[in-house]
Structure 1
C-alpha cells in the first residue's frame, strides 16, 4: 500500500482536501483528530498531560482544547513536551490502523509532517498551499482567530514555500474546483 502524507499550514485547506479523498473512498487518518481522541480516552496519557499542563487541561473529565491550545501556542517548551508525549502514541495508532486496510493507498493528514520528522514514513508527500491573505480571512471567519493567534500558530510551522519544496506534489488551493481537480489527477495516477 502506498502511504501518502498530506500537509500544509493551518487554514491551507487540508480538511477540504481530506474530505475529497474521503469522497473518492480513500482511507484517511487525521492526526490532529486522533491525537485529541487519544488524549481524551487514554488514562495514562491524561495523567501525563495534567502533569505538564495542570488539571485545567481536562474540564469535567473532557479534553479542554481551548485551554490546551492557549497554553502550548504561547509556550514552545510546553508544545514540545506535549508533542513528545502524544506523537509516539498517535504514530503507533496510525501503524495499527494501516494494518487493517485493504486499499491501493491511504492518506495521513497532519500540519506537522516535516516538523515531527514523519515525512520519512511516507511514500509520497502532498502539500496544500494557499495565499496567506486567504488563510488569515479563513481563520478569522471560521475559527474567530485574531491575527496574533494565527501568527503564533504559523510561527510553530514551517513556511508554506518550504513545505512545498520538500513535497512530491504542491497543490495550490486557489479554489475548491482547482483543489479537487489536482487531487483527482493524483488519485488517478495512484489507481494505475
Structure 2
C-alpha cells in the first residue's frame, strides 16, 4: 500500500481535506490524534514527559494539555525533546495500522510531516495551504484564542514556501466547493500514478 503524507500549517484546513479523502474511501491515519492517545495511555511516555516537564504535566484525569502546551510551544528545545518521546511511538503504531488497511493507498496526516522528516517515509506528499490571514481567523474562531497565541503556534511550523519545495501535490483550501473538486481530481491522479 502506498503512503501519502498530508500536511499543512495550522488553520490551513487539513482536517477538512482529510474528511474529503475519507469520503472517497481512502484509509486515514491522523498522527496528532494518535499522539494524544499515546500521551494519555502510555505509561512509558507519561514517565518520560514527567521527567522532562515536571509533575504538573499530568493530573489525575490525564495529560495537563494547557500546561504541556505552555511549556513546549515557548521552548524549541523542550518541543524537540517532547517530539523525541512521542514520534517514535506514533511511527511504530502507524506501521501496525498500515498492515491492517485495505485499499490502494492511505493518507497519513501529520502537522509536522516535513519538520520531522516524516515525509521521507511517504511515497508522495500533499500540502494543504491557505492565506495566512484566513488561517489565523480560522484558528481564532475554532480554538477561541487570541491572534498572538495563533502566531506563537505558527512559529513552530515551517513557512509554506519551505514546505512547497518538498510537496508533490498542493491543495489550496479557500473555497470549500473548489477544494472538493481538487481533492477528487487528486484522488484520481494518485490512484492512476501509484496504484
Fold equivalence (TM over 0.5)? yes
> Residue in 2 aligned with 1:53?
53
Deviation at 1:24, TM superposition (A): 1.3
> Residue in 1 aligned with 2:148?
148
> Residue in 1 aligned with 2:69?
69
Where do residues 29-178 of structure 1 align in structure 2 (5 Å cutoff)? 29-178=29-178
Deviation at 1:34, TM superposition (A): 0.4
Stretch deviating more after TM superposition (59-68 or 166-175): 59-68
> Residue in 1 aligned with 2:189?
189
* Cα RMSD for the two superposed structures: 1.1
Deviation at 1:63, TM superposition (A): 1.6
Deviation at 1:138, TM superposition (A): 0.6
Which structure 1 residue ranges, 5 or more long, are not aligned?
Answer: none
Deviation at 1:163, TM superposition (A): 1.2
Stretch deviating more after TM superposition (53-62 or 133-142): 53-62
Asked if the contact 1:129–1:170 (Cα under 8 Å) also holds between the matched residues in 2, the reply is yes
Give per-residue Cα distances to partners, 1:19-52, cap 9 Å, x unaligned. 1111112111111110010111111111111111
What is the alpha-carbon distance in structure 2 between the residues aligned to residue 127 and residue 14 of structure 1? 9
Deviation at 1:76, TM superposition (A): 1.1
Asked if the contact 1:104–1:190 (Cα under 8 Å) also holds between the matched residues in 2, the reply is no
What is the alpha-carbon distance in structure 1 between the residues aligned to residue 165 and residue 180 of structure 2? 21
Deviation at 1:101, TM superposition (A): 1.1
Which structure 2 residue ranges, 5 or more long, are not aligned?
Answer: none
What is the alpha-carbon distance in structure 2 between the residues aligned to residue 117 and residue 55 of structure 1? 30
Asked if the contact 1:127–1:164 (Cα under 8 Å) also holds between the matched residues in 2, the reply is yes
Structure 1 counterpart SS, 2:165: helix
The normalised TM-score by structure 2 is 0.95
What is the alpha-carbon distance in structure 1 between the residues aligned to residue 76 and residue 128 of structure 2? 25
Deviation at 1:189, TM superposition (A): 2.0
Give per-residue Cα distances to partners, 1:154-184, cap 9 Å, x unaligned. 1111101221221001111111111111111
What is the alpha-carbon distance in structure 2 between the residues aligned to residue 112 and residue 63 of structure 1? 21
What is the alpha-carbon distance in structure 2 between the residues aligned to residue 21 and residue 144 of structure 1? 27
